[in-house]
Amino acid sequence: MADPIHQFQIQKVIDLPDVTLPVLGTVDLAVTNSHIAMTAAFVVIVGFLAAVTSNAQVVPGRLQAAGEGVFGLIDNLADSIIGHEGRKYFPFVFTLFMLILGMNILGLFLTFTATSQLAITVTFALITFGLVLVVGFAKNGLGFFKLFWPMGAPLALRPVVGLIEFVSFLLRPVTLALRLFGNMLGGHVALKIFAGFVVSLGLLGLGGGVGLLAFPVAALSLGMVVALTALEFLVAFLQAFVFAVLACIYLNDVVNLDHAH
CA distance 212 to 205: 4
pTM of the model: 0.87
Amino acid making up residue 162 = G
- Where does residue 252 rank: exposed (0-12), middle (13-18), buried (19+ CB within 10 A)? buried
pLDDT tens digits for 61-95? 788 888 889 999 999 999 999 988 888 999 999 99
pLDDT tens digits for 12-57? 888 888 888 787 778 777 888 888 999 999 999 999 999 888 887 8
CA distance 210 to 214: 8
Domain boundaries, the chain: 4-139+174-255
Angle of helix 172-206 relative to helix 214-255, nearest 10 degrees, comes to 170
For residue 14, list its beta bridge partners: 31
